[in-house]
């Protein structure tokens, strides 16, 4: 890598590292309602703002497509903590690697989800934990009082219990855990700037790999997957199936209390906004649908086709930190051509997927 590129990567090291699964527009809508959970939503927003304003050094590694070194034990290294409804991370350890279940559903779901994500990256992409070097995975459960979110803070996972009316416990969806840990993978690889299109790509990459973690665990191919992010988080009072739909952005929920899913499915409906870091949780629907179209267009297991292509791009040292949809889309086409051949079915499917969502790519 040239010294200029090295300097560019190093210059990114100071970034806000808070990445929550629940979009702020949902929490703002709840906070302004007359529901009894409004206070919980307001407390969540306050905590989230505090985390966003906390800046920390984001580690960067120069060699980014890392395989586990030979002769090293590559087993999971997990630990789960209980915050006892406080906001004092990490809390007290309740389950270490190899220990039996605790009987606390949240703690045991967090433990299993951390392991499922670790196994996916190691077995599918030969990536040894989120940093490629065996980083121990930590998760804290029972964070805050009725905290309506889950997040990656740059070094660990944090899970709220939900408010008990709109949201249930945030450990219940393995794709949510895969999503948040993938923010850690992005942190150690592309380190995409968390604003505008690059921020939406940051969110989309986490949805992509979070969905594949779930598909891999369930043994589903691309055609059989539900392509929903956070299915099961909403409680029965909510008119919605998930936080997001990769297959059909904009249809995940339509509820009088939280509003209608605002995600666009194509560039023609791209949302220009200063909220949510430039709409990172909204406009991610566009690259999400491109991945869905590529994965189903290629067929078979998503992680063997489109997932492999997206992983090649995410771990490429040439991907700019401020990549646009067009930059990222073009990179996936070139990655497909390099891996499968210029005239391959895979390369054609990837290019067609981006064209379908209105993103211009160079082939």
Asked whether residue 43 carries a pLDDT value surpassing 70, the answer given is yes
Tell me if 4 is assigned to some domain: no
Q: Is 2 part of any domain?
A: no
Same domain, yes or no, for 214 and 150? no
- Is pLDDT above 70 for 68? no
Q: Is 207 in the same domain as 129?
A: no
- The CATH number covering residue 240 comes to 1.10.390.10
pLDDT recorded at residue 10: 43
* Domain membership flag for residue 301: yes
Q: Return mean pLDDT, the chain.
A: 91
Q: How many domains does the chain contain in total?
A: 2
- What is the pLDDT confidence band of residue 53, given thresholds at 50, 70 and 90? confident
122-134 pLDDT per residue, tens: 999 999 999 999 9
The verdict on 171 and 202 lying in the same domain is no
135 belongs to a structural domain: yes
Domain hosting residue 102, numbered range? 11-188
Residues 6+ apart with CB under 8 A from 336: 309, 344, 346, 347, 349, 350, 351
- Domain end position, chosen among 158, 188, 218: 188
pLDDT at residue 14 greater than cutoff 70: no
Is the pLDDT confidence value at 215 over 80? Answer: yes
Q: Are residues 227 and 323 in the same domain?
A: yes
- Shortest CA distance to 336 belongs to which of 363, 360, 299, 296? 363
- What does the pLDDT look like over 154-172, one tens digit per residue? 999 999 999 999 999 999 9
For residue 3, being part of any structural domain is answered with no
Distance in angstroms (rounded) separating the CA atoms of residues 269 and 263: 9
Higher pLDDT, 34 or 93: 93
Mean pLDDT of 215-234: 97
Coil/strand/helix, residue 58: coil
The answer to the question of residue 29 being in a domain is: yes
> Which residues have a catalytic role annotated?
180, 281
| pTM assigned to the model | 0.92
Q: Which of 160, 188, 216 is the last residue of a domain?
A: 188
164 and 233 in a single domain? The answer is: no
Which of 59, 101, 60, 58 has its CA nearest to residue 78? Answer: 101
Same domain membership, residue 67 and residue 171 = yes
Predicted confidence (pLDDT) at residue 58 exceeds the cutoff of 80: no
- 136 and 203 share one domain: no
231 with 147, same domain: the answer is: no
Q: Say which residue, 305 or 12, is predicted with more confidence.
A: 305
Same domain, 31 and 152: yes
Give me the residues paired with residue 82 across strands.
Answer: 92, 141
Confidence category of residue 121, pLDDT binned at 50, 70, 90: very high
Q: Are residues 154 and 172 in the same domain?
A: yes
> Strands 137-141 and 78-82: what pairing?
parallel
Q: What percent of the chain has pLDDT over 70?
A: 90
Evaluate whether residue 45 is within a structural domain. Answer: yes
- Are 188 and 152 in contact by the 8 Å Cβ rule? The answer is no
Q: Given pLDDT bands bounded at 50, 70 and 90, which one contains residue 62?
A: very low
Question: Please, which pLDDT band fits residue 70 given cuts at 50, 70 and 90?
Answer: low
User: And the tokens for 58?
Assistant: 């984001």
CA distance 96 to 83: 15
User: Would you say residue 362 lies in a domain?
Assistant: no
For residue 116, the domain's CATH number is 3.10.170.10
Q: Which of 138, 171, 188 is the last residue of a domain?
A: 188
Reported as a single tens digit per residue, the pLDDT across 83-118 is 999 999 999 999 999 999 999 999 999 999 999 999
If asked whether residues 352 and 256 sit together in one domain, one would say yes
Edge-first strand order for the sheet with 19-20 is 19-20, 150-152, 157-159, 137-141, 78-82, 92-96
**Same domain as 211, residue 162:** no
Question: Can you read off the two tokens belonging to residue 265?
Answer: 């499915």
At 1 the pLDDT is 42
Residue 296 has pLDDT above 60, yes or no: yes
Nearest to 278 by CA among 156, 191, 192: 192
Q: Measure the CA–CA gap between 301 and 224, rounded to whole angstroms.
A: 10
């Amino acid at each position: 890598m040239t010294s200029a590129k090295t300097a560019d990567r190093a210059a990114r090291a100071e970034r806000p590292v808070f990445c929550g699964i629940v979009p702020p527009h949902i929490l703002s809508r709840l906070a302004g309602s007359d529901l009894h959970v409004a206070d919980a939503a307001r407390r969540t927003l306050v905590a989230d703002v505090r985390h966003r304003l906390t800046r920390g050094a984001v580690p960067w590694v120069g060699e980014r497509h890392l395989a586990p070194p030979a002769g090293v034990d590559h087993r999971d290294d997990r630990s789960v903590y209980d915050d006892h409804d406080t906001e004092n991370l990490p809390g007290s350890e309740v389950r270490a690697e190899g220990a039996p279940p605790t009987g606390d559903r949240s703690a045991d779901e967090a433990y299993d989800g951390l392991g499922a994500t670790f196994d996916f990256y190691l077995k599918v992409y030969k990536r040894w934990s989120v940093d490629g070097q065996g980083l121990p995975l930590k998760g804290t459960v029972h964070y805050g009082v009725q905290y309506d979110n889950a997040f990656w803070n740059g070094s660990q996972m944090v899970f709220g219990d939900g408010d008990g009316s709109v949201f249930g416990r945030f450990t219940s969806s393995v794709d949510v855990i895969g999503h948040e840990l993938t923010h850690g993978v992005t942190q150690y690889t592309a380190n995409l700037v968390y604003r505008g299109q690059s921020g939406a790509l940051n969110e989309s990459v986490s949805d992509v790999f979070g969905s594949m973690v779930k598909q891999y665990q369930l043994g589903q191919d691309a055609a059989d997957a539900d392509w929903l992010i956070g299915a099961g988080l909403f409680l029965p009072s909510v008119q919605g199936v998930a936080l997001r739909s990769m297959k059909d952005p904009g249809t995940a929920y339509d509820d009088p209390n939280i509003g209608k899913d605002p995600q666009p499915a194509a560039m023609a409906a791209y949302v220009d906004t200063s909220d949510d870091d430039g709409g990172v949780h909204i406009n991610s629907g566009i690259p999400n649908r491109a991945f869905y179209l590529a994965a189903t267009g290629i067929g078979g297991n998503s992680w063997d086709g489109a997932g492999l292509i997206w992983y090649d791009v995410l771990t490429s040292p040439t991907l700019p930190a401020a990549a646009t949809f067009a930059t990222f889309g073009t990179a996936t086409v070139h990655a497909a051509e390099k891996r499968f051949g210029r005239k391959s079915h895979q390369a054609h499917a990837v290019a067609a997927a981006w064209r379908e969502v209105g993103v211009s790519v160079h082939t």
